[in-house]
Structure 1
């Protein structure tokens, strides 16, 4: 469905290419609405996001090996299973020395090497070659760096290092039982490295929620140029990767056209934790989504949101409790639905903390809807400032493709210099 108000605002914010529209068809005769289409008052944008977050519980925890845990969320605090480091280690290549120099080299062997048992204990005046990461022998008081010492035969000379110099003492980073990361921490490459160093082979995690995407609409083409009234599908290539960036594991993207039976079958048999549909959220003659939801016995939690673009978005609970997000068919309106409903749902399912909110000041005034929040693509010309972008109509992606964020414009609009909230956009 094309939102005329949104298109008018997009034109007001910058030059836009337009195309003539076909005359609106005559309204069909009123008919009784099925239960899932019962009248709802569209919640405001913040309320809709909060409702979506409360609609589900976190997924049950499971244990995964470290090489499969990337992108999941810790289900319990990460506590150290060992001291870090587990023993005194050398921070540099050089010599482990005992007391002040000059020193006599303890033996003619390779010395203390990383991954080998400790060299024999040292007595005052002795030294032994040592490699970075090697266990410091008992009795050593410091490490003399290789570039500062000179050895000749069995004799080592150089400046006396301070006691403890270039030695990483046992437990310097943490002691056994120390909490290193709290529960709900997303697992990144760095946190997985920390877990491995702390002694873990597996981790208790909240798994990435599994998502399935259903692309609806007979008017969509999946290759080639638009022709004969049909248009290219922009949502299929975009929705799955966007859900992945929001924390989902996308199982499949399926193209169903306007086949109500195929939609019913897909919704009845899904194994996903979150089902996402694109298009068919309005009440056109080929919009079957609400009728299929009613046939399934789904419960409608949100039927429209007071936000532009994207106000026809919906949130439903399937009979088995799984959530379904219905995205509008216009591309930027669908992005609005992803950030309004899918993002908080995925955060709740994965038990992830809410991201810190960012703000910036507008370089230019932005017209607002009299009652609804607007989400407007913006670019950041310098830190603390954002500039509204053109090509921001509900059917357009050109503006958001060049954007660094979406600005949350309150009802009534915002003047130049006014601070606005920002929604980050995925960059990978």
Structure 2
């Protein structure tokens, strides 16, 4: 067995970014940029009023005070989409509305609430500095500026920024195509009648959902029986996919055929020093990759978070996530053996905002209800000593996907 970090490194090394394709901005949410987004205009393209008021020349109002307001002649109006069209002369003011272009000659805006006006004159009781309540041209970004980097997964905020930059088409990495194949004579699909000793398949559905949250396209190939012929027959449909993820059959039992039938004797690794898990293998399958995951539902899900998720990110050109997340422990944990342990837990925050993580008292790897309630995995390195409440521990948050705001 190899360490978790080494297994992840080998997977990332084998998962090179997929080729780029062009998509419309309307289809860009959750996609990963293959090229930076470069602004095609300056934003804002002109100096604009930040609020409703009067566009003025600050020099005209140098002596203005509440006790002695300065009277300016009304010269016209500027509204959003409709500029003044002339140059503001000394001693004049233009009625202006939020977002309207600042007239030539004006250098400040006075709030309408501060002024009194009639049909011909506006009286201003304040002396604004140049630039007051003016949004200068290019405040947000300049034409030709890279506003988003390559390798970024696009959020709704990024889509809005790209639209503001006047970019209607984007170059993004192709979405990974993942075939998911469950194994086991005892496994039946949800809704099917269950005979003696049979269980409902949950692994494949969870894996397909995880693929979707990470921007991939999943195809569920069904459930292979515990024979080499059944496994090979169903796996043949995965030819041409970027990755084949199997659930079960990756151990060394008499009915485990993933290694021998699909691995073809050319596996990169077979077995990882971790729990839940251990029965994880990785190699090539045809022109794609093979990731064999444990059949136990919680073990398979934890291994998918640790290995399938980063593989999908790498295939889409994303850099490895090296962020460290730390929380205070709320309950004691025993010492670890020679394998890394990934403890399911809930995550909360104190009134001061400090994260606090509480491990479930039962860590049975068949308890999918606990896994669904978990907010984080507590990371315990091999041979870690006992941990006590208040200790700081590393965690892996479980609430991230491609549909983040």
- TM superposition score normalised by structure 2: 0.86
Deviation at 1:307, TM superposition (A): 0.5
SS at match of 2:78: coil
From 246, 256, 271, give the equivalent of 1:277: 246
Deviation at 1:226, TM superposition (A): 5.2
Query: In 1, are the aligned partners of 2:212 and 2:218 still within 8 Å (CA)?
Result: no
From 51, 57, 64, give the equivalent of 2:23: 64
- Give the aligned partner of residue 203 of structure 2: 235
Question: How many residues of Structure 1 are paired with residues of Structure 2 in the alignment?
Answer: 380
Name the CA shift for 1:396/1:92 in 2 (closer, same or farther; >3 Å): same
Deviation at 1:196, TM superposition (A): 1.8
Q: Matched residues in 2 for 1:267 and 1:231: separation?
A: 22
- Give the aligned partner of residue 419 of structure 1: 392
- Give the aligned partner of residue 51 of structure 1: 10
Q: Kindly indicate whether structure 1 or structure 2 has the higher relative contact order, using CA contacts under 8 Å at least 6 residues apart.
A: 1
Q: Matched residues in 1 for 2:106 and 2:211: separation?
A: 55
- Give the aligned partner of residue 289 of structure 1: 258
Are 1:73 and 2:73 counterparts? no
Deviation at 1:89, TM superposition (A): 1.1
Name the CA shift for 1:427/1:80 in 2 (closer, same or farther; >3 Å): closer
Deviation at 1:268, TM superposition (A): 3.3
Q: Matched residues in 2 for 1:214 and 1:131: separation?
A: 61
From 42, 67, 74, give the equivalent of 1:105: 74
Are 1:244 and 2:215 counterparts? no
- TM superposition score normalised by structure 1: 0.81
Q: Matched residues in 2 for 1:118 and 1:267: separation?
A: 69
Q: Matched residues in 2 for 1:115 and 1:206: separation?
A: 37
Deviation at 1:227, TM superposition (A): 4.8
- Give the aligned partner of residue 66 of structure 2: none
Query: In 1, are the aligned partners of 2:31 and 2:154 still within 8 Å (CA)?
Result: yes
- Give the aligned partner of residue 157 of structure 2: 190
From 409, 415, 422, give the equivalent of 2:380: 409
Deviations 1:356-394 (A, max 9, x none): 111224333323442111110122354243222123222
Deviations 1:83-108 (A, max 9, x none): 2211111111223223434222224x
- Give the aligned partner of residue 372 of structure 1: 339
Name the CA shift for 1:95/1:49 in 2 (closer, same or farther; >3 Å): same
Name the CA shift for 1:412/1:226 in 2 (closer, same or farther; >3 Å): farther
Gaps of 5+ in 1: 1-41
Q: CA RMSD in A?
A: 2.3
Of 172-181 and 300-309, more deviation after overlay is shown by 172-181
From 172, 178, 201, give the equivalent of 2:168: 201
